[in-house]
Structure 1
Amino acid sequence: MKSNTIAIAISYIFNASFYSIYLLPIFADLKDIFTIALSIIFLGIMPIIFIVIQSIRGRIDMFVSQRKERPKYFIPALIGYLTGYILFSLLNKSMLALYHLSYFTVTFTIFLISFKWKISVHMAGICGPNTFIILTLGEKYIPLYLLSILVGWARYRLKAHTFLQLFMGGIIAIVVTFFTVIYMR
């Protein structure tokens, strides 16, 4: 029972929206409050606000466990990521623009897959951003991938995903992020 409690805590702490914010201090100018606030809105709030509201109303669980329920909950995230990409491009904040675009391309790919198959958003939400950080800032950030083991264990322990769903969530995020960053740089 204790390991389930730990797995639940890990699942909340390392959800995709929160993790996107955790990484901002690595590459964003924390003195630029406007930019940070916009990033928090587009990366952290918009992607989960609809889920939180529906969860409070008792219509879904916070992890949107039912595959058939998932697609519609990707829409606010996609809008937030795309808006962030466009806005930060216009503001000449190329790193933040690319970060938002990477989130958009990975999320759009997972969105399309979710119509037919359940895939781990948690793993995508760890592996995609880590790949972005490694490709843009260097190999010294490779140890961030170790978090995927922790998150994968938690999601598997809670029976939220099969090993294949976890693996594919991570691999798809790595590949899509790689091509997004390489193509856009």
Structure 2
Amino acid sequence: MAASGRAIRVKNKTARWLTEAFQPPVVVTVQLLISPLVQDGFPATMAYGALAALFVCVLPLLLLLVLVRLGKVTDHHVSDRRQRLPVLLMALASILAGLLVLTAAGAPASVIAMVLAVVGGVVVLAAVSPFWKMSGHAAAISCSAVVAVLMLGAAWTPLLLLIPAVGWSRVVLRAHTLAQVVAGSLFGGVVMAGIWWLLRLWLVP
């Protein structure tokens, strides 16, 4: 019994670490920072990726933490599905403001393409959230891992192992069902990454 209890604690601790380490704001920030890699000027153009991350990840997360502090939202993962729509709409407003700033600042098309892919993801999650709790963690890590492999090459394929690992963590912590994790993974890895790929072909010279 003691050994079984220790195994459960280790499993839960590992799942919690994966959930926190690869939560959407962290994953998407890295994704945005490397987004200019496909254009000339990198790594100097990472500054535009950082500016994008400010509006896409940092500001929405700070506002979310304020809402958690005020008791308006349960936690920073927005575990209560009913609270997700207003939080996602708040994030969308920040992202759209960021797009305006990035455009005015002359950001590389590669950064704009990545932000637009994120916009597509947030819009769909916001539309689905009132009815079903599709995993944002799974969508974010799947999109980021697939995009990283497409950008950096086959040598980075092991990054795809993060997709089932993060998905497993969400199921273990009972934050999502297996179906919600699979749906999020497919949405992020196919739809969001696909949007980025098409926009990259269209926008990036």
TM-score, length basis structure 1: 0.86
1:66 aligns with 2:80: yes
**1:17 match:** 25
Does structure 2 retain, via aligned residues, the 8 Å contact 1:106–1:128? no
Please identify runs of 4+ aligned residues in structure 1 that moved more than 6 A.
none
2:183 is equivalent to residue 168 of structure 1:
yes
Deviates more, 1:131-140 or 1:1-10: 131-140
Q: Does 1:3 align with 2:3?
A: no
Higher mean alpha-carbon deviation, 128-137 vs 38-47, is at 128-137
- Cα separation, 2, equivalents of 1:53 and 1:131: 32
Segment drifting more, 23-32 vs 91-100: 23-32
The one of 70, 83, 99 equivalent to 2:97 is 83
Alpha-carbon offset, residue 89 of structure 1: 4.3
Please give the alpha-carbon distance, in whole angstroms, between the structure 1 residues aligned to 2:90 and 2:169: 26
Find the partner of 1:96 among 111, 117, 123: 111
* CA distance in structure 1 between the aligned counterparts of 2:27 and 2:62, rounded to whole angstroms: 16
* 1:32-181 mapped onto 2 (5 Å cutoff): 32=45, 34-59=47-72, 60-90=74-104, 91-181=106-196
Q: Which moved more, 1:33-42 or 1:56-65?
A: 33-42
SS in 1 for 2:102: helix
SS of residue paired to 2:29 = helix
Counterparts of 2:107 and 2:188, CA distance in 1? 25
Counterpart in the other structure of 2:3: none
Identity %: 25
Aligned residues: 185
Give the letter aligned to residue 161 of structure 2.
L
1:75-109: CA deviations, max 9, x gaps? 23212333334443451411111111111111111
What amino acid is the match of 1:146? L
| TM-score normalised by the chain length of structure 2 | 0.79
Distance 1:63 1:178, change over 3 A: closer
Aligned alpha-carbon RMSD (Å): 2.2
Amino acid of the structure 1 residue aligned with 2:90 = P
User: What one-letter code is carried by the residue in structure 1 that aligns with 2:84?
Assistant: R
Could you tell me which amino acid in structure 1 is paired with residue 96 of structure 2? Answer: L
Pick which of 132-141 and 90-99 moved more: 132-141
Rg bigger for which structure?
A: 2
